[in-house]
Amino acid sequence: MALVIDADHATPYWLAKVQLQPALEDQSRANGRLIAAAPELLEALKDLIENPAYRVMIGGNPNATDKLYSRCLRAIAKAEGRDA
């Protein structure tokens, strides 16, 4: 089974080929869905942390907010290849 991603809804391209093994079929399908959703997840995360209401949305706890914000920044950097 091959995974084809349509990035701009006009031109499909190959991102990854996923070989399904019977014992790992569910995990392989879940991985394929995660790969397909990754660009949208990254954009949503960026939108979330740039939102002025961000601190209010997680309860206004500065300590929790700072930790979550740092995790978000690390995840974004990793996804963009700036931090492995």
pLDDT tens string for the chain (84 positions)?
444 555 555 665 566 666 667 777 788 888 888 888 899 999 988 988 888 676 566 666 667 777 888 888 899 998 888 875
Residue 3's pLDDT is what? 46
Count CB-CB contacts under 10 A for residue 3: 16
Residue 22's pLDDT is what? 76
Report which residue type is found at 7. A
Residue 50 CA from chain centroid, whole number:
16
Q: Which two structure tokens, joined as six digits, stand for 54? A: 């961000």
d(CA 84, CA 62): 27
Coil/strand/helix, residue 16:
strand
Residue 42's pLDDT is what? 93
Q: Which helix (H) or strand (E) holds 5?
A: strand 3-6
